[in-house]
Amino acid sequence: MKKLLKPRQIRSKIVIPTTSPKKWYGQGIPGVDLQKLTGRLFVVEGADGSGRSTQIIRLVQWLERGGHAPVQVGLKRSTLVSEELEQAQQGNILSRITLSLFYATDFADQLENVILPALKAGFIVLADSYIYTLMARDMVRGMDEAWLKNVYGVALIPDAVFYLQTTPENLVQRNFAKSYALDYWESGMDLGLTRDLFDSFMKYQSLMMQQFQRLQKTYGFHIVDGNQSMDGVHDELRTEIQEVMRGK
């Protein structure tokens, strides 16, 4: 007699997320009714090579399977300034405050045109980096924290923020495994820490980590160990997001 395989169970139950009142970090965007933002905003932060993008792809799949509508956003993707920002960065010609404000413009444009409309429509927004990366980068470069907080007072407070904390040693290995190269900016070469790309990367990434730890104290995000397996990280993110969506 043939052994009958037990058919895999198909789940169709959808957990309806609760809504939670939204808040701005500071002054916010003029004319927005926070009551209408019924969606959820989750942020994944971490250096290149921390597995940020991979985790977002997996979360999208998981959310869709659960019957939710995810929307992805990231830095330097605005219609308004992304091209110009890319060009300026290629040439390394902008000074610090200018570059910082250019990024803030890019962020605000996406906040107003992607994030807020999606939240209004009840979508789950997954942000591949948010204001914290922008602030940490600027703080490493000696910019005033109070000034940055004022600028990013336009931002909405996310439902949860995850920082994939990964050692510079692991980041190097993952960047090399992917492209055999280290990025100029991700190595902080503009800081002139050292002429050696590898050494600069290691130093810069530990400086970034320190700034994230500082910011964590103010903004209270979840620090997730980015050195563990992709599955391990995914499980942690899922558990936390599930709880937030259930209103726990």
Contact residues for another protein, defined by CB under 8 A = 26-27, 29-31, 79-81, 83-84, 88, 93-98, 100-102, 104-105, 108-109, 112, 147, 150-151, 153-154
Q: Closest approach of Cβ 78 to another protein, in Å? A: 9
Of 63 and 155, CB closest to another protein: 155
Tokens 């397996």 -> residue: 229
b vs e for 94-111, b when ≥16 Cβ sit within 10 Å of the residue's Cβ?
eeeeebbebbbebbbbbb
> Measured between alpha carbons, how far is 188 from 92 in angstroms, rounded to an integer?
12
Q: Closest approach of Cβ 130 to another protein, in Å? A: 16
Of 81 and 233, CB closest to another protein: 81
Of 58 and 120, CB closest to another protein: 120
Of 81 and 237, CB closest to another protein: 81
CB 170 within 8 A of CB 54: no
Q: Closest approach of Cβ 66 to another protein, in Å? A: 33
Of 98 and 179, CB closest to another protein: 98
Nearest to 159 by CA among 21, 14, 13: 21
> Measured between alpha carbons, how far is 192 from 48 in angstroms, rounded to an integer?
20
b vs e for 112-145, b when ≥16 Cβ sit within 10 Å of the residue's Cβ?
eebbbebbeeebbbbbbbbbbbbbbbbbbeebee
Q: Closest approach of Cβ 105 to another protein, in Å? A: 4
Q: Closest approach of Cβ 91 to another protein, in Å? A: 9
> Both tokens of residue 142?
């000696």
